[in-house]
A = this chain, B = another copy of it.
């Protein structure tokens, strides 16, 4: 657990913290894994092998230990949120999953514990993520429905930011994460980029 998180949670009057040790959760003979196949593919899944299998597995374990009625996961990790929704549905967990809205700093940067790693100049460059998504939103609101056109404009903005290395930007169905060419229902524009040595993700939902 990150330093300071406990203090922040106490201020929010959280009654219980459950912070198991790795050795308790994954003893030597551990061998069971949960895979959510389709939703784990593409986007962050292509760049972080095994990551979503780890997420699904640990969340299944935590659900069985804590037995919550509701659980909140942030929309900033949008693929993770959908993966958990899918797992809960598929494995029949009797738990209500609530998506917590993505919260931004005043200048638009999506809040993340990783932002603390950004040097001041990097912090400026990182704003391009939000600004490029805003550009996409404006195009959408002006009536553009071709994913390729919107993505083109977003990439233009991101690629013009020196020191920012785009990993991916994609427009996908907001519920299934299916690839789409023309925006009809709700979609997510999701992206990941390196700013210096920090990997950042951001997204925006359109048409919800």
Is A16's CB within 8 Å of the partner chain B?
no
Among A31, A60, A94, the one with the most B-chain Cβ atoms within 10 Å of its Cβ is A31
Is A29's CB within 8 Å of the partner chain B?
yes
> Which residues on B sit within 8 Å (CB–CB) of A64?
91-94
Is A37's CB within 8 Å of the partner chain B?
yes
Please judge, given known A-B contacts A64-B91, A91-B61, A91-B64, whether A34 and B34 are in contact too, CB under 8 Å.
yes
Measured in the bound complex, the distance between the Cα atoms of B33 and A87 in whole Å is: 9
Copies per assembly? 2
Which A residues between 30 and 63 are near B, CB-CB below 8 angstroms?
Answer: 30-39, 56-57, 60-61
> Residue-by-residue, is A60-98 near B (CB-CB < 8 Å gives 1, otherwise 0)?
110011010000000000000000001100111110000
Q: Is the CB of A87 within 8 A of B36?
A: no
Is A182's CB within 8 Å of the partner chain B?
no
Partner of A37, one of B32, B60, B65, B90: B32
Partner of A92, one of B31, B65, B87, B176: B65
Q: Is the CB of B65 within 8 A of A32?
A: no
Measured in the bound complex, the distance between the Cα atoms of B63 and A92 in whole Å is: 9
Partner of A31, one of B29, B32, B36, B94: B36
Measured in the bound complex, the distance between the Cα atoms of B33 and A208 in whole Å is: 30
A199 to B: closest C-beta gap in Å: 26
A82 to B: closest C-beta gap in Å: 11
Measured in the bound complex, the distance between the Cα atoms of B36 and A80 in whole Å is: 22
> Residue-by-residue, is A132-145 near B (CB-CB < 8 Å gives 1, otherwise 0)?
00000000000000
Please judge, given known A-B contacts A67-B94, A94-B67, whether A32 and B56 are in contact too, CB under 8 Å.
yes
Task: Add 4 more A-B contacts to A32-B34, A34-B34, A34-B35 (CB < 8 A).
Answer: A32-B56, A32-B86, A35-B35, A61-B92
